[in-house]
Amino acid sequence: MQRVVSMVARLGLRGQPLPSVPGRPLSGSQTKIHGCDRVKLMESLVVGDIAELRPNQGTLSLFTNEAGGILDDLIVTNTSEGHLYVVSNAGCWDKDLALMQDKVRELQNMGSDVGLEVVDNALLALQGPTAAQVLQDGVADDLRKLPFMTSAVMEVFGVSGCRVTRCGYTGEDGVEISVPAAEAVRLAKALLENPEVKLAGLAARDSLRLEAGLCLYGNDIDEHTTPVEGSLSWTLGKRRRAAMDFPGAAVIIPQLKGKVQRRRVGLMCEGAPMRAHSPILSTEGTVIGTVTSGCPSPCLKKNVAMGYVPSEYSRPGTRLLVEVRRKQQTAVVSKMPFVPTNYYTLK
């Protein structure tokens, strides 16, 4: 199945749209961190190496707690304008904002130069193999110079002050456009004038992110899941591993050496599609885990899922059972992503 260009209009990256609430910005998930100690602030909360980011480069990272659990996943960009641009899940907005505000106050009381600004913008995600081609018609910047996980501020189809980031949660090439909320509808209409662009909801995005083996917070990762258990060890910066200076490092770092009881794995099966909360069993019929996300793959014409099993059952090719509609069916542990990703990088 060929993937087409789609536009997901939403209020927060990877999370469910928030209703309009007095006093709460519609975006619900975008902030700027200012000040000379902005990196110090973020590195006191996340596992990634923020200091190494080049101007306008971003990275996926994780808020963690002292028990090693994941509080949320987020993208942090080191902008050329001298601040950090942070996008986290709209569904976790309240706790994420409180977490950052508390740390800002703590550092300010210690004399640090740091501040937080909530960004009142909406997000439009333009995703698909020809997304950049569609967007290029409306911007003066050369998008060929904007690789995956980098961003730039530009005018987009006549709307000024947009931050265009080469990213998305679909496994495809694409961009996320942070646009002033008052101009979001106008920009969406401008993009939809191109017949290549189709509106797509979060359910469509969900099947794409699952094919790409990407986690959904609250389903596949949560505050009771560590980065190692969630197969997200790659988010741990090398320098941060050595320093062990992020929340939960005392729990997480030993797990890198194999001391982990369970792991997130990919699963493929035929028959009825696997869904969240479906029990995973050994071939002997013992329940050993649970499916966290599952759906029919439009591209593969097979059923794909991810879930957690004991480490000894996590090797690709391991045959297991999944209970679907009170019937047991065979599933095979599979490598992820299920569908190869197509992120744009400079050659």
Buried b (16+ CB within 10 A) or exposed e, 179-199: bbbebbeebbebbeebeebee
Coil, strand, or helix at residue 203? helix
Q: Please spell the DSSP secondary structure of 293-309, one letter per residue.
A: EEEEETTTTEEEEEEEE
In degrees, to the nearest 5, what angle opens at C-alpha 258 toward C-alphas 252 and 261? 80
Binding-site members are 176
Binding-site members for substrate are 176
Coil, strand, or helix at residue 228? coil
Q: Please spell the DSSP secondary structure of 95-151, one letter per residue.
A: HHHHHHHHHHHHHHHTT---EEEE--EEEEEEESTTHHHHHHTT-SS-GGG--TTBE
Task: Sort strands 198-199 and 6-10 into parallel, antiparallel or unpaired.
Answer: parallel
> What is the amino acid identity at position 86?
V
Coil, strand, or helix at residue 230? coil
Please state, in angstroms and rounded to a whole number, the distance separating the CA atoms of residues 345 and 140: 20
In degrees, to the nearest 5, what angle opens at C-alpha 46 toward C-alphas 40 and 51? 45
Q: At 137, list the tokens.
A: 């018609």
